[in-house]
């Protein structure tokens, strides 16, 4: 899994920079609206909504924007009806992609995704062609300077986390998909500040891709720049130092 924690760290830093320019507000608002629509407008009883609101707060979204998005989801305000999607595809070098998002026009979305993939000599795949190689898991990021590593390890295991790794200034905990919210809540009760918590698709097997690193990251970035796309997951195996170089080229 070389490179994947590094990529998580790089993406998190990038999203925080994007938040300063308001670029991710649209995506988070959609997530809040859909979570409220599907499971109600109370974050205390709706883990998906609580997670989406946490993302909004991390991005410094104004409180009134959050409240408006919730009300659109519950029907108190008129809003667009977004539907979740999950597309599978391939980037150059046989790297598998899971493309997740929310859309109000599936024909537009699939057309835009197909155009980006084909421009890099990639392609969309049939349902199930890629998904078998990914597990749905929880991923929780915590800053290293907020807690001692041994103390966090003990608390995390007691809370139900399955694994803990480190990357840059973050500890990254892995959980079962059904237990992420419980683990997050347990850690927060201990006074631990969660930097980011989300469900991700983690690859079971990876493809060596150092020689195509820049192209693959370009594909992922272009896909995630689409308003309809929330996240893109890939099974690349790119060395940390190569990813660092790609990131510095973008900066």
- Burial per residue of 192-205, b for 16 or more beta-carbon CB atoms within 10 angstroms, e otherwise: bebbbbbbbbbbee
Q: What is the pTM of this model?
A: 0.88
What percent of the chain clears pLDDT 90, i.e. is strictly above it? Answer: 71
> What band does 1 get if pLDDT is binned at 50, 70 and 90?
very low
Q: Which two tokens stand for residue 148?
A: 């001692």
CATH 1.10.10.200 applies to domain 4-74: yes
| Confidence label for 251 from pLDDT (cuts 50, 70 and 90) | low
Could you tell me the maximum CA-CA distance found in the chain, to the nearest angstrom?
Answer: 51
The yes-or-no verdict on residue 248 having pLDDT over 80 is: no
In SS3 terms, 65-110 reads as HHHHHHHHHHCCCCCCCCEEEEEEEEEHHHEEEEEEEEECCHHHHH
Average pLDDT over every residue of 212-221: 93
Q: Alpha-carbon distance 41 to 189, whole Å?
A: 22
Residues 100-147: tens digit of each pLDDT? 999 999 999 999 999 999 999 999 999 999 999 999 999 999 999 999
Given a cut of 70, whether residue 18 has pLDDT beyond it is no
Per-residue pLDDT tens digits for 179-192: 998 999 999 999 99
Domain locations in the chain as residue ranges: 4-74
Q: Quick check: 99 pLDDT over 60?
A: yes
pLDDT at 174 over 90: yes
User: Which pLDDT tens digit goes with each residue over 53-92?
Assistant: 988 888 889 999 999 999 999 999 998 899 999 999 999 9
- Cα separation of 87 and 124, whole Å? 7
Crossing angle of helices 63-74/25-39, nearest 10°?
A: 40
């Amino acid at each position: 899994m070389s490179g994947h924690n590094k990529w998580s760290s790089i993406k998190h830093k990038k999203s925080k920079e994007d938040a300063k320019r308001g670029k991710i507000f649209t995506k988070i608002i959609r997530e809040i609206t859909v979570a409220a629509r599907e499971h109600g407008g109370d974050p205390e009883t709706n883990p998906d909504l609580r997670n989406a609101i946490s993302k909004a707060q991390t991005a410094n979204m104004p409180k009134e924007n959050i409240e408006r998005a919730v009300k659109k989801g519950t029907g108190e305000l008129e809003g667009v009806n977004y539907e979740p999607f999950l597309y599978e595809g391939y980037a150059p070098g046989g790297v598998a992609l899971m493309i997740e998002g929310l859309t109000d026009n599936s024909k537009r979305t699939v057309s835009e995704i197909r155009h980006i993939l084909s421009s890099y000599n990639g392609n969309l795949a049939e349902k199930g062609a890629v998904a078998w190689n990914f597990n749905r898991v929880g991923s929780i990021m915590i800053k290293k300077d907020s807690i001692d590593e041994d103390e966090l390890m003990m608390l995390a295991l007691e809370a139900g986390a399955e694994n803990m790794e480190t990357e840059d200034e973050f500890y990254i905990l892995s959980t079962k998909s059904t237990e992420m919210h419980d683990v997050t809540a347990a850690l927060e009760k201990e006074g631990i500040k969660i930097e980011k918590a989300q469900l991700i698709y983690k690859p079971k097997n990876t493809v060596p891709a150092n020689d195509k690193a820049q192209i693959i990251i370009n594909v992922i970035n272009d896909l995630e720049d689409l308003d309809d796309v929330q996240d893109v997951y890939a099974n690349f195996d790119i060395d940390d130092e190569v990813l660092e170089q790609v990131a510095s080229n973008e900066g």
